[in-house]
Chains A and B, each alone.
Chain A
């Protein structure tokens, strides 16, 4: 079945549908990782986004059982690939990627020139876009000529995840407890990846997962440290979480921010964030730890960044991106507040930064 991706600038890419047969829209972003589609598709940070995977073969190893996912469902709005592989080969595979997408009602297109699409997003920045299927091939022939006319009408239908606070859609609804341990870590769930929970539990602490707008101080909860999770959207929309973190900082509680959590910490500390042209979504980003002068390769998925210049002198730049010099982590000079823009929990991606959980817990202990 034919399908097409229409970008907000009117560009149309034709392909074949291999997912659910329904239209969708969202922010079109690309990820350059070569493995890890089950993890990425279930990563709540992709909420509201149409994901373009630049590696041209997807579906190779099928889909594993839920235990290996990063949340309980597919979070992306749609998937765009060059070639979909319908005969997976892996001992953990339970179903094909196509069947999974169909089962969860997520549209997907293959046969798209993903390199041309990615180049466009790099040059002009991320754009909104819409996926439509069931395009008759005759119709699609003329599509490119008609695009200019359809642009305006199209825009009305495109969903923009940055225009609202999307955290309620991805956060847990109630407090949940994982693992056992003497120390209790409050995990503020802004759309947390399951591997953050696994990474903490593995280290012998109790994890109390709370909704994005839950304030552990106001709730008079007994806790030893707080982790503010990753999540989707514009960080400035998460005002309640920012306020919670502000209070935590005031109380000098150990706080660790990851990705969106890092941006929230930056905002809570009085700094500012800004939107990157096309974000960092990949498994090969180099960051330098400015304190040790050691570099590591880490996994990233973010569209916003902390403006280091906006922070007070009490804060120092912890990690910096070696490619474009953007901030990759901040740390308070005296207090146990730390945050990284990347993903120490990996999944997908390299596991080099896993030691940061230990570092955070060393402040808690």
Chain B
């Protein structure tokens, strides 16, 4: 059901009679600077097309997205979003129009390239939305500055350089410090502040390698950064939907900044002055649809600069949509189809016009989420380049309330501003700056000093100080209703109060409820209560006297917990799972409620469920919502007295009126299972006791022993000497990890005593409560995943996928193949057998995932997740069976049966990881047991090679044309790769190699060019051909035990990343790539839609 309606006078699109079929470009895999927000915007565009009865064709290889689900687009191509493939799809599908603005910079760049070569004109495809000319102006800083000067709008002083000489000339005129920015980039890559000539030369040289031209600008120190989201229709009607203020001053990328909406420190004049300029600029540029405009504002007067315009949907526009309730992407799509704003209705009130500017009666804060510890060699300093991998948004009615909410939403273990033991000696912008500032305040630092050091407006600093002072005073006070109420208004959690008052969290909760201190439900309605909302977009606040009336149905309720902020190891795949689950629950007649706090998601669209609580995924908040929903139900439907006497926890799944669904949002909701269970809440699916049995390594291990299923020898250890002793007894290498694992935090493989000692210290830092687990690392084993659904302990459906890379590469970084192409039938049979036994023993009733190791036809269990795994969308979309839908129905008690063909398929699906190493300066791109990929794609082929080639092209790989550089560490790897090297030589590639590899290749009769070590200072060195752009592909297989740091291997790998040269660091992946290269050319890759491969069941 859709909440979107059209006004009477425009039931039909102006252009629906012209447009029959429209192509939409997606953004591909999630990467830093381009993430889940484009699943949101693309899905909205598809929704708009569907409403208009226009056939939508989507190209997006990101299989984990909601937009690539059945029913949204008529045809879906899991193909790379590159000019070559888009052109091929256009030839095949012959669309009338194309949307370029909904798939981030990837789609836009692809579209611009096609426009330049005249492809759209030739194919008769109309570009919908902003004219390409306008987009080009916004993408070229020089053109942009020129256009804005025509209308007297100020841009930063500076110039453009195509060479170092030109750059130095500009620098001499302007003086230092300077800001360097490069055009045509996502998230400000190759940008930064430089204070000296030396630093300037270094950065300019690097930036000019990435882009043909760079901008050099005055550095506007401590200016405020303000953004507006602007919409303009075909008739020139314009609105600004939202303005946002960065807490961090100019110089910190907006994707790295803490952002509030609306602006807090601008007065009426400034707010409306910048608004007016926004409208002026968008009018002059002729934007049609949505755009984002960024300003710098001098805090000491009203001087301003326009920093940039993004003529497409962006991360900021997704944030603005969620912050205001105004569906920007949907409206932009409607405008692209010919509508004008006055023709469209406000999607929340359904009665007022879409031509309006939302009035917020709450404050929103966004905080980015970083995962820099996942990258070897990354620095924690932040600046004008984006490094964050996700974000959270908190809604409330005071700044302290939203700030503290957002801190908890980040899921980084921080529960408040203090006590996080951060290094507060440097106030440089780092990922931890908020906590460093708080700590400084706790030590008595003044607002003035912090402002001088950080440029964060005193308005924010005063309030941070207020929180800190209150937190300090808590230590001296005893529990009272007055203090608790004040604490809650300032955003403190029960957990933190419990610590301060030395009681339990439950006791604080009971105390609160006894004194009537509970959060109140408020609507986000776009008009600050001026008109009633027809939707249920909700948040909780302590700044309110009463909860708003919610429309109640008599249906049973299910609360689906989302996945929280995107981070490495948990992203859009869990959003797909949550949304799919909610849709199924809704279809089954339940009143469906979603809780999530991530603005980059579809699950936080207010029409993904009957109700959306945009709020925390903490136990406290989930309990608050559970209570509210339970109470309101008691009002709506009187529970009989006898019913009340039954303790909640002994009721079976079907007797509860409100249930929680924890199995589809990844690890965050899963971790709440035990606590919710103990509180007596109804939980759908596998019992929390079973979840615990699977999560607790000791319990799970005992179970496997009982079932006589093998696992790698392991032990849980607290003492270093014991650990070394145990490792020696099972033999190195060993795998080290803490017990509750999320995407392998602090996981490592140790090959020696000293390795182990070093890593152990790192791992125990991560988790003090949980002991470190050491297990045998099986070298040369294959890794296999089983995703499935259990039905009261019986195996209903399963899919077996195999990893291309051997064990040792995190499953999230592995290339995954479905159905398996290289497994022995014997192995498959054993896996199936073991799976059945485990599912039975744990009485799994819902989704699950088991990871196996296989070597020499022997299998071992690595772990079991009693929830939907990262690969659920992949297996669902490759097999054509929706595992999440089936799991949800099973959890509701429906009895399903049937035979499901998931192994004997006539095609192959390959899932490939997307890395964002180019964003993280200095990070070593070598694959490890620790996950570092930020996204994934999956493509189809008639065989493994075809699907694999498509998949790696979709994550940015380029087909090598003439030269390959091989550098292989260790004798075994050299021998293993020899056949592949031979194939490369036969295919006519010129081969370069480092000394040992070169010798080895020559010994085996493979002609190659030796590259000298850098230290030898001889030409050609290992870097010369790389920097000269001669090399098309680097295969660098390092010895597993080689150290991190500035080794030759690291230098080669890092240069590949920085210069955009395809790099393979894994032996099995290299073998598969070479065999694929030998079997297929780009032209052989079939252009076939999803439904051409997969039957939908």
Contact = CB atoms under 8 A, between A and B. Distances in A.
Bound together: yes
Interface range on chain A (Cβ under 8 Å from partner): 35 or more
A82 interface: yes
Contact of A88 (B268, B459, B531, B545): B459
A282 B359 contact: yes
Contact of B272 (A285, A288, A351): A351
Contact of B352 (A36, A323, A351): A323
Task: Give the interface centre of B268, B269, B399 by most chain A CB atoms within 10 Å.
Answer: B268
Contacts of B267: 35-36, 38, 61, 64, 90, 92
B160 to A, nearest CB: 33
B359 A283 contact: yes
B264 A54 contact: no
B268 A56 contact: no
A285 B356 contact: yes
A33 B545 contact: no
B235 interface: yes
B361 A56 contact: yes
B546 A57 contact: no
Nearest to A119: B529
Given A60-B459, A118-B529, 13 more contacts: A32-B528, A54-B529, A56-B363, A90-B265, A119-B548, A122-B531, A286-B353, A293-B235, A295-B341, A295-B342, A349-B268, A350-B275, A350-B276
A87 B353 CA distance: 37
Given A89-B457, A113-B544, A36 B268 contact: yes
A60 B264 contact: yes
Given A113-B546, A294-B237, A55 B356 contact: no
Contacts of B566: none
B262 interface: yes
Interface string A275-296: 0001000111110100001111
A322 interface: yes
Given A35-B268, A115-B522, A295 B276 contact: no
Interface range on chain B (Cβ under 8 Å from partner): 35 or more
A347 interface: yes
Q: Which 4 pairs of residues, A with B, have the shortest CB-CB distance?
A: A36-B268, A322-B353, A89-B459, A32-B359
Contact of B355 (A64, A82, A286, A351): A286
Interface string A100-120: 000000000000011110110
B272 A346 contact: yes
Interface in A349-363: 349-352
Contact of B397 (A83, A92, A352): A83
A278 B397 CA distance: 24
B300 interface: yes
Contacts of A351: 272, 275-276
Interface in B294-347: 299-301, 341-342
Interface string A55-88: 1110011001000100000000000001101011
A36 B262 CA distance: 13
Task: Give the interface centre of B341, B351, B353 by most chain A CB atoms within 10 Å.
Answer: B353
21 contacts: A32-B528, A35-B268, A36-B267, A54-B361, A55-B528, A56-B361, A56-B543, A83-B398, A89-B459, A90-B265, A91-B299, A91-B301, A113-B545, A115-B548, A118-B528, A118-B529, A284-B358, A284-B527, A286-B355, A323-B352, A352-B279
Contact of A116 (B239, B275, B546): B546
B458 interface: yes
A364 interface: no
A40 to B, nearest CB: 9
Contacts of B235: 293-294
Contact of B360 (A34, A64, A85, A322): A34
Query: Interface of chain A, helix or strand or loop or mixed?
Result: loop
B529 A115 contact: yes
Interface of B: 235-237, 239, 262-269, 271-272, 275-276, 279, 299-301, 341-342, 351-353, 355-363, 397-399, 457-459, 462-463, 520, 522, 527-532, 543-546, 548
A284 B545 CA distance: 27
Nearest to B267: A61
Contact of B359 (A33, A122, A347, A348): A33
A30 B531 CA distance: 13
A219 B530 CA distance: 44
A100 to B, nearest CB: 14
Contact of B239 (A30, A115, A297): A297
Nearest to A348: B268
Contact of B462 (A87, A92, A119, A323): A87
Contacts of B356: 284-286, 297, 322-323
Contacts of B459: 60-61, 85, 87-89
A324 interface: yes
A122 B272 CA distance: 27
Interface of A: 13, 30, 32-36, 38-39, 54-57, 60-61, 64, 68, 82-83, 85, 87-92, 113-116, 118-119, 122, 278, 282-286, 288, 293-297, 322-324, 346-352
A85 B457 CA distance: 14
Nearest to B353: A322
Contacts of B300: 91
A288 B342 contact: yes
B279 A34 contact: no
Given A32-B527, A122-B529, A286-B353, A116 B544 contact: yes
A122 B351 CA distance: 15
B193 to A, nearest CB: 24
Contacts of B528: 32, 54-55, 115, 118, 282
A13 B398 CA distance: 19
A60 B265 contact: yes
Contact of A82 (B352, B359, B397): B397
Contacts of A347: 268
Nearest to B522: A115
A118 B275 CA distance: 27
Contacts of A282: 359, 528, 530
Contacts of A115: 361, 522, 528-529, 544, 548
Contacts of A32: 359, 361, 527-530
A33 B359 CA distance: 7
Contacts of A56: 361-363, 397-398, 543
A284 B355 contact: no
